[in-house]
Amino acid sequence: MRQLPFKAERLTASFYDRSTATVAGELIGKALLHHVDGCWVGGWIVETEAYLDTRDPASHSARGQTPSNAAMFAAPGTLYVYPIHAKHCLNAVTEKAGRGAAVLIRAIEPVWGIDFMQLERGYSDLRRLTRGPAMLCQSLKIDREDDKRCLVTDPSLGIFADPNSDPRRVLSTKRIGISKAVHRNLRFIDPDSTSTSRPLGR
DNA sequence: TAAACGATCTGCT
DNA sequence: GCAGATCGTTTAT
């Protein structure tokens, strides 16, 4: 384990092995960190979405396991990175292996390695770094090569809790950008953050 | 092998 | 705020 930028406790497999909506809500305020090119890059998670098992029509697992979504069916705490619209989005697998459930991380507040993110993204404006799932992936330099990495044991990648940080408010809204099962409130945001992709959804 | 479809982003207005 | 770009994956011929 590399030296972290602050005193932190890594989330363990038992954190991810719970109801996906619960995990999605509790990920708000946790730190997503990736060690690249000799430094930690990441920030506080402020927006997530729950994608449930194969019965959730909006989930990539809805049509069963395929070569490209296999990571979704792996152990809880596995990283699932999928390509979309010529970009990438990242998820943390939840529940028991084989369920096909995961939490999409949609936005973080950029905190560590901001200059690295600015280089990767080609923008200096903090608001254009991590305010959306594909932007966030590019800032953290995570792509399809990182699919199936383990957030629980990988020394260079993980999600961490800061025991000294103040708890955040969490609001749930409808999920964004999907056409099926749109009515369900499975998107979770920190309403006090300015780094969410769309403050109140829609 | 062709065609359609996204859990999106950017640039321009 | 909106139209257009973009490309891997899936589904249909």
The Å distance, CA of A30 to C1' of B12, is 36
The Å distance, CA of A9 to C1' of B13, is 47
Give the pTM.
0.97
What pLDDT, on a 0 to 100 scale, did the predictor assign at position A200?
Answer: 78
* Alpha helix stretches (DSSP H) within A85-163: 114-121, 133-139
- Judged against a pLDDT cut of 80, whether residue A1 lies above it is answered with no
Q: Is the CB of A143 under 7 A from strand B?
A: no
The Å distance, CA of A85 to C1' of B4, is 13
- In the complex, which nucleotide's C1' lies nearest to the CA atom of residue A123? B10
What pLDDT, on a 0 to 100 scale, did the predictor assign at position A201?
Answer: 64
Tokens representing A72?
A: 């979704």
Mapped onto helix, strand or coil, the DSSP state of residue A20 is helix
Within 7 Å of a protein beta carbon, the nucleotides of strand B are: 6-10
Q: Is the CB of A59 under 7 A from strand B?
A: yes
Are A47 and A190 in contact by the 8 Å Cβ rule? The answer is yes
- Judged against a pLDDT cut of 70, whether residue A119 lies above it is answered with yes
Phi/psi region, residue A130 (left: phi>0; alpha: psi -120 to 50; beta: rest), is alpha
Tokens 């990175």 found at: A81
What does the pLDDT look like over A159-169, one tens digit per residue? 999 999 999 99
Banded pLDDT at A199 (limits 50, 70, 90): confident
- In the complex, which nucleotide's C1' lies nearest to the CA atom of residue A63? C10
- In the complex, which nucleotide's C1' lies nearest to the CA atom of residue A147? C8
Q: Is the CB of A176 under 7 A from strand B?
A: yes
CB within 7 A of nucleic chain C:
A 63, 66-69, 83, 85-86, 144
- Judged against a pLDDT cut of 70, whether residue A130 lies above it is answered with yes
What pLDDT, on a 0 to 100 scale, did the predictor assign at position A101?
Answer: 98
Tokens 């010529």 found at: A86
What does the pLDDT look like over A35-66, one tens digit per residue? 999 999 999 999 999 999 999 999 999 999 99
